[in-house]
Chain A
Amino acid sequence: MTLDDQLSAFLGEEPQQSRAEVFTAEVMKAVERRVFLDRLAAMAAGAVVLTLVLWAVSPALNLMVRAIAPSLAPVCGGLVFVAAIVMTGGPQVWRRLSIG
């Protein structure tokens, strides 16, 4: 064993194994937090942009909704009726209709 070998062994010492898994877990937890915050920031930015776009085109949207609302009213009424039955009837209704 030369002095250089001893020096390399000393300088190359690594942390004990016992903390390795804990350390990796801590890092990954921090990474997950980072990913979550990044997604949250992206979604918040997207929501702001969508809000601004809808606000900008709201006059046109108003006109459009007014124009199509009368023709959609019967369909919407029907859908609301079906939704009400499904919600109140639950699984029994689904079974009778052979969907559940």
Chain B
Amino acid sequence: MDAALVRQARAGSQAAFARLVAIHEKPLRGFLRKSGWIDADDIAQEAFVAAWAGLPKLRDDQGFRAWLFGVAWKKALSQRRGAQRAAARDEAWRGDQELEAAKEVGAEDRLALETALATLPEDQRACVTLCLGQGWSHAEVSDALGLPLGTVKSHVTRGRERLLAVLGGAS
């Protein structure tokens, strides 16, 4: 479905691009939030605008999702300083960006997982969020984040072990 919308957007259709935004905004913002970027919405917005401008450079229309997440990831890394500044923003603004809590996870487990997730290196955090949280394949994550496939696999394995450990189920 992405490919057709990408083609229309590349031809100048803002309606098609708006549809792409509507499809991908929640997973992208969720990914950025889980990856620890406090100004996730700002980064996601900039990534979408950059994606609009960069559509002619996209070679594989079907690979729009991975490409978009890659653009957002690079933006996030380049805005690390901005993100640190954003940590000082007021709580009300942060509350506005909160994620919809999954019912499957209890309050204590959530707290423990959030703490454990924050201790993971940022690459590892991104890999586990995309592979385990959003069901991406290792190859897709490797493509999007620009990391070697083996690195992605080991990040996911180690990250999963560390997160499961706080749930009491280290394998």
CB-based contact A9/B102 at 8 Å: yes
8 Å CB contacts to B: which residues of A1-43?
1, 3-17, 19-20, 23-24, 26-28, 30-32, 34-35
Interchain CB contact under 8 A, A15 and B128: no
Q: A27 near B49 (CB under 8 angstroms)? A: yes
Asked if B149 CB lies within 8 Å of chain A CBs, one says no
Q: DSSP class of A's interface residues: helix, strand, loop or mixed?
A: helix
Determine which residue in A15, A16, A31 has the highest number of CB atoms from chain B within 10 A of its CB, and name it: A15
A34 to B54 alpha-carbon distance, docked (Å): 12
Binds A, one of B57-65, B74-82, B137-145, B162-170: B162-170
Q: Is B147 an interface residue (CB 8 A)?
A: no
Asked if residues A15 and B26 are in contact (CB atoms below 8 Å), the reply is yes
> In the complex, what residues of A have CB within 8 A of residue B105's CB?
6, 9-10
- Report, as a range, how many residues of chain A touch the other chain: 20 to 34
Check A14–B30 contact: CB distance below 8 A: yes
A–B complex contacts, Cβ < 8 Å, 26 sampled:
A3-B164, A4-B160, A7-B132, A7-B163, A9-B104, A10-B102, A10-B113, A11-B129, A12-B102, A13-B30, A13-B101, A13-B133, A14-B27, A14-B99, A15-B99, A20-B25, A23-B41, A23-B44, A23-B45, A27-B18, A28-B14, A28-B18, A28-B21, A31-B17, A31-B49, A34-B49
